[in-house]
Amino acid sequence: MEPVKVGLLGLGTVGGGTLTVLTRNANEIARRAGRGIEIAHAAARDYNPASIEGLEHVGRIGDDAFAVVDDPEIQIVVELIGGYSPARELVLKAIANGKHVVTANKALIARHGNEIFAAAQARGVMVGFEAAVAGGIPIIKALREGLAANHIEWIAGIINGTGNFILTEMRDKGRDFADVLAEAQALGYAEADPTFDVEGIDAAHKLTILGSLAFGIPLQFERCFTEGISKIGALDVTYAAELGYRIKHLGIARRSPGGIELRVHPTLIPERRLIANVDGVMNAVLVKGDAVGPTLYYGAGAGALPTASAVIADLVDVVRTLTTDPNNRVPHLAFQPDELVDTPVLRMDEIETAYYLRLSALDQPGVMARIASILGEEGISIEAIKQKEPGEGETHVPLVMLTHRVIEGRMNEAIARIEALESVQGAVMRIRMESLSG
Amino acid sequence: MEPVKVGLLGLGTVGGGTLTVLTRNANEIARRAGRGIEIAHAAARDYNPASIEGLEHVGRIGDDAFAVVDDPEIQIVVELIGGYSPARELVLKAIANGKHVVTANKALIARHGNEIFAAAQARGVMVGFEAAVAGGIPIIKALREGLAANHIEWIAGIINGTGNFILTEMRDKGRDFADVLAEAQALGYAEADPTFDVEGIDAAHKLTILGSLAFGIPLQFERCFTEGISKIGALDVTYAAELGYRIKHLGIARRSPGGIELRVHPTLIPERRLIANVDGVMNAVLVKGDAVGPTLYYGAGAGALPTASAVIADLVDVVRTLTTDPNNRVPHLAFQPDELVDTPVLRMDEIETAYYLRLSALDQPGVMARIASILGEEGISIEAIKQKEPGEGETHVPLVMLTHRVIEGRMNEAIARIEALESVQGAVMRIRMESLSG
């Protein structure tokens, strides 16, 4: 059978990786897909031909991405440019032209996925986006197909490798955030502008997608709560460890009685959980289904070849189902398009979690009692409280507390009252805590 | 749209669980699948109606499985009887009748899968078997679809929950095999006759299936090497821990230059590997692909509801692709049927691994040197050697060694020579060792 003709937009890291893997494993991929996959037309600006294995097998290379999307010979368009524009216009044009699309663009799907999937549905084409979440880990497929029997209760994922590398280094070496960030930038694990990664925006894009797949709700990136890791101190990592916890930057999506939780923030989790031991740049997603219980998916969340693995898995999926009746394909967001529901996404102050609190208090009798009584008045139970040794000649001591679960709004009140105490110095450090068991 | 009519063979643990999940999550499953799934006809002997949630939704229940398979109303047959016969006859009859099949029967697929898939291919129907390996973990789907871009290098799996429970208890409590086995039997984690689980036969069935999916070879259960965990002593678990290793009962499938390795045996693995921390009855499969690197899939490997999760995922897959052209479906063994290759499966004595050796030697000068020199003569390098303290009044001391990688045939020679020494008492305990890194 004739090879399937694919158009490739972008020859950067992932585009180059995709060509490399398609070239190296051409025979094995064709033996699985039933047909060869040929990159017949590619478009890119500013790429380095010498660094890309397999470039010689590309039919035609130009610099006009719209020419690829309009090329009548092309059946599937792979979008690896990234960003919102012109990626959105290109993808919509490809769909309008009746072409299937595969993309690794998490920002695009998180923000414009509803529009893109509606267009694809109307035109009867597929849009694959396995590479948009957790790189090479087939987590989209697991949620959309492998766990289709389940009422999904919650998802908790380490879905940004840069952040996980930084937190792992902070723990292993007792170093501070800024120090490790500089090293990660030098190693190429972090961008020159690290905001996207360390402030949780990248993770929020991915979590938005996972939440929709799990709960059958439209994509709503703007409702995802996001807090970064830049305020975590070496002290917090140490204290957490002393209490039997690790700090991970988690994306958490959960069904709760009032609605859906979508939140990215640093989180204390028990060190004995498997996911607490996912270190360095690796990613992992823990999914709790009512029938299957907890399942975990672990692997490389970024990088040229792992991301290419997911892009090509989508290509093989499309090739295998190229002639399928469009009404009998796997729906983009796991649920049939007319079966999505608009369960509200909760604000962070409506959400219940447990907390780790660290503050600096005057080393005097009665101070701890005053703080405990404020928490009690706000309905917050204390699970553990530890006063650390004061530094030489210091009048204030670090106080660390773990609380039971409480609505964040109440915790905000309590923290405001504690910070207003004269005996308390500076801000209260607050890190949310999850058992990941129920 | 009309619900899809399914026939169910068997109302035991998994059959009952499947009905329960189909009933509880009926609405959510239909929203994903695009149609309802109705158990229109079931057959079972000796089931307990009071214990099965959802039994009232079954159209018709009889005791004749062949009547279900021959029922013209039924589009998909779910086989949950287990064993070879009459499961094989029923599945082949269902296929001959043009019905799709979903099964959780690992023994059936491992032994008769080639015949069953050929029949299904010829008749244009699907046979789903996600539940046959690692219960609720969607590992079949990951290998067959999610990792389709990769040249798979190796797989290492904890794929028998009973065995993993026993090894975990032995480590946590310093107890002996027989002791923990008795407890596992009392808890219902181990069968009255535990041979199938603890001697690795169940794991070998599953590994046979994983190996075929990974490497595109026909199923050949009879070529899978199998060694159980019943000879592992509490001492071995302790010594392994002292050296930084855990003992897990692994199924390993690997491509090596001479052919395919398919082997189930106790294995020392570094304690820092994520899979080394998979404890209790949980399962996990670690897959190394050339593009994606290592990925790991973790979850419940058995039990009514987790297994039902996988059975129903297959049902949803079949429902979603019911009208698909048979030539455009995902091939049963990941590779197109005419693309399977007959790469030879190696004998165990042709396979290279590292080893942990424990033996009891006379506490005299020169004995250790004699043993080391035998190993040297056989081309075996020693990585570590530890002589333990002798017991009160004992003339022999335990000697523990870790070796570098060597062909097992050479190791067999060396062990025979060491056991023949007068200064060595009894047999040499040998446990294979894998780094799971490369």
Give the whole-angstrom CA distance, residue A303 versus residue A311. 12
Q: Which residues of B372-391 are buried (b: 16+ CB within 10 A; e: fewer)?
A: eebbeebebeeeeeeeeeee
User: Cβ of A147 and B138 within 8 Å?
Assistant: yes
Host domain of residue B176: 141-300
Give the whole-angstrom CA distance, residue B269 versus residue B248. 7
- Nearest C-alpha neighbor of B186 from the set B168, B162, B164: B162
The residues with which A296 forms a beta bridge, in sequence order, are A286, B298
Q: Are residues A263 and A150 in the same domain?
A: yes
The pLDDT value given to residue B188: 83
Q: Are residues B319 and B279 in the same domain?
A: no
Q: Which residues of A touch B299 (CB under 8 A)?
A: 292-296
Ranking A225-239, A377-391, B68-82 by mean pLDDT, the lowest is A377-391
Mean model confidence pLDDT for chain A: 96
What mean pLDDT comes out for the span A261-271? Answer: 98
Q: Are residues A158 and A294 in the same domain?
A: yes
Q: Which residues of A touch B309 (CB under 8 A)?
A: 147, 149-150, 289, 291-292
The pLDDT value given to residue A160: 97
**Where residue A314 sits, what CATH number does that domain have?**
3.40.50.720
Confidence tier at A142 by pLDDT (50, 70, 90): very high
User: Cβ of A292 and B312 within 8 Å?
Assistant: no
Q: Are residues A152 and A295 in the same domain?
A: yes
Residue A429 predicted with pLDDT over 70: yes
Give the whole-angstrom CA distance, residue A231 versus residue A240. 15
Each residue of B190-227: pLDDT tens digit? 888 899 999 999 999 999 999 999 999 999 999 999 99
Give the whole-angstrom CA distance, residue A183 versus residue A194. 12
- Number of separate domains in chain A: 3
Q: How far is C-alpha A429 from the geometric centre of its chain's CA atoms?
A: 24
- Nearest C-alpha neighbor of A284 from the set B126, B406, B277: B277
Strands (E), B161-274: 225-226, 245-256, 259-270
Distance from CA of A250 to the nearest CA of B (A): 18
Rounded to a whole number of angstroms, the CA Rg of chain A reads 24
Q: Are residues B274 and B152 in the same domain?
A: yes
Sign of CA dihedral A81, A82, A86, A90: positive
> Would residue A18 count as lying in a domain?
yes
**Where residue A262 sits, what CATH number does that domain have?**
3.30.360.10
Q: Are residues A107 and A172 in the same domain?
A: no
User: Cβ of A300 and B308 within 8 Å?
Assistant: no
Q: Are residues A159 and A215 in the same domain?
A: yes
> Would residue B61 count as lying in a domain?
yes
Give the whole-angstrom CA distance, residue A190 versus residue A263. 22
> Would residue A344 count as lying in a domain?
no
A250, A262 in Cβ contact below 8 A? no
The pLDDT value given to residue A25: 98
The pLDDT value given to residue A327: 78
The pLDDT value given to residue B349: 98
Q: Are residues B111 and B244 in the same domain?
A: no
A101, A117 in Cβ contact below 8 A? no
Residue A406 predicted with pLDDT over 90: yes
The pLDDT value given to residue A388: 84
* Residues whose CB is less than 8 angstroms from the CB of residue B369 and which lie 6 or more positions away in sequence, other chains included: none
Whether omega before A86 lies within 30 degrees of 0, making that bond cis, reads: yes
Give the whole-angstrom CA distance, residue A145 versus residue B141. 8
Q: Which of B5, B93, B141, B206 is catalytic?
A: B206
- How many angstroms separate the Cα of B426 from the Cα of each of B57, B177, B362, B422? 62, 20, 11, 10
B308, B20 in Cβ contact below 8 A? yes
Q: What tokens appear for B123 in the block?
A: 């008749």
Find out whether B339 is annotated in a ligand binding site: no
What are the backbone angles phi and psi of residue B230, rounded to the nearest 5°?
-70, -15
Q: Are residues A284 and A324 in the same domain?
A: no
> Would residue A438 count as lying in a domain?
no
User: Can you state the angle between helices A304-320 and A13-24, rounded to 10 degrees?
Assistant: 60
The pLDDT value given to residue A438: 67
A199, A191 in Cβ contact below 8 A? no
Q: Are residues B145 and B292 in the same domain?
A: yes
- Nearest C-alpha neighbor of B281 from the set B180, B421, B361: B180
Q: Are residues A292 and A330 in the same domain?
A: no
Give the whole-angstrom CA distance, residue A387 versus residue A424. 13
What are the backbone angles phi and psi of residue B109, rounded to the nearest 5°?
-70, -45
> Would residue B438 count as lying in a domain?
no
B288 flagged as catalytic: no
> Would residue A32 count as lying in a domain?
yes
- Nearest C-alpha neighbor of A140 from the set A279, A281, A313, A336: A313
B435, B268 in Cβ contact below 8 A? no
Give the whole-angstrom CA distance, residue A193 versus residue A408. 31
The pLDDT value given to residue B107: 97
Distance from CA of A137 to the nearest CA of B (A): 7
Which residues does chain B have with pLDDT short of 70? 438
- Residue among B24, B148, B290 whose CB faces A32 most closely: B148
DSSP letter assigned to residue A3? P
User: Cβ of B296 and A291 within 8 Å?
Assistant: no
Each residue of A320-336: pLDDT tens digit? 888 878 878 899 999 99
Give the whole-angstrom CA distance, residue B332 versus residue A211. 31
- Nearest C-alpha neighbor of B107 from the set B126, B135, B93, B88: B88
User: Cβ of B142 and A138 within 8 Å?
Assistant: yes
Q: Tell me the three state secondary structure of residue A367.
A: helix
Q: Are residues B263 and B182 in the same domain?
A: yes
Instruction: Give the position of tokens 């600006």.
Output: A45
Find out whether B191 is annotated in a ligand binding site: yes
Give the whole-angstrom CA distance, residue A74 versus residue B79. 43
